[in-house]
Amino acid sequence: KQIDLDFSQIEDQYLASINPEQSDETFWDQDLDATYSEMDELAGFGKLLETIEKGFSEYEKFCEKSDEIFDEWHCVLIMHSFLRKYCDKLEIDYTLLQDDISALQSEMEEG
């Protein structure tokens, strides 16, 4: 099933949920610098996806230990946060990445 990604809604929710004082700290106990230390972009992106998956696991464990309900929207914000930090670290224009994702989504919907 294809979904329409509303990047502006994701960005608005992300900005409303971040704590600027923690923006450069380790996120979900993952070493963000280690994620970006790979010289090979494909390997680095693969490592980023693994880090996102670990973030989801940490969030799931947190929900099991607390009263918080595991919800997909929070997972979207976690993934968005990692992608933003990845783009910032590698000086990739995040809006271009969004455009590429939207183009791929359109191609998939047409095909």
**What is the per-residue pLDDT for 109?**
76
Q: Establish if 84 belongs to a structural domain.
A: yes
Q: Enter the pTM of the model.
A: 0.60
Encode pLDDT of 57-73 as tens digits.
988 999 999 988 888 88
In a domain, 24, yes or no: no
97 occurs within a structural domain: yes
CA distance 60 to 85: 21
Domain-embedded: residue 2: no
Instruction: With respect to residue 34, please indicate whether it lies within any of the assigned structural domains.
Output: yes
Domain span including residue 49: 7-17+30-110
> Do residues 29 and 78 touch, judged by C-beta distance below 8 A?
no
Report the domain count for the chain.
1
25 occurs within a structural domain: no
**Cβ pair 36, 90 in contact under 8 A:** yes
Q: What is the pLDDT of residue 85?
A: 85
Pairwise CA distance, residues 56 & 59, whole Å: 5
The mean predicted confidence, pLDDT, of the chain is 75
Q: Strand, helix or coil at 30?
A: strand
Q: What pLDDT, in 10s, does the model give residues 5-58?
A: 676 777 777 777 766 555 444 444 455 555 555 456 677 778 888 888 988 898
pLDDT of residue 65: 92
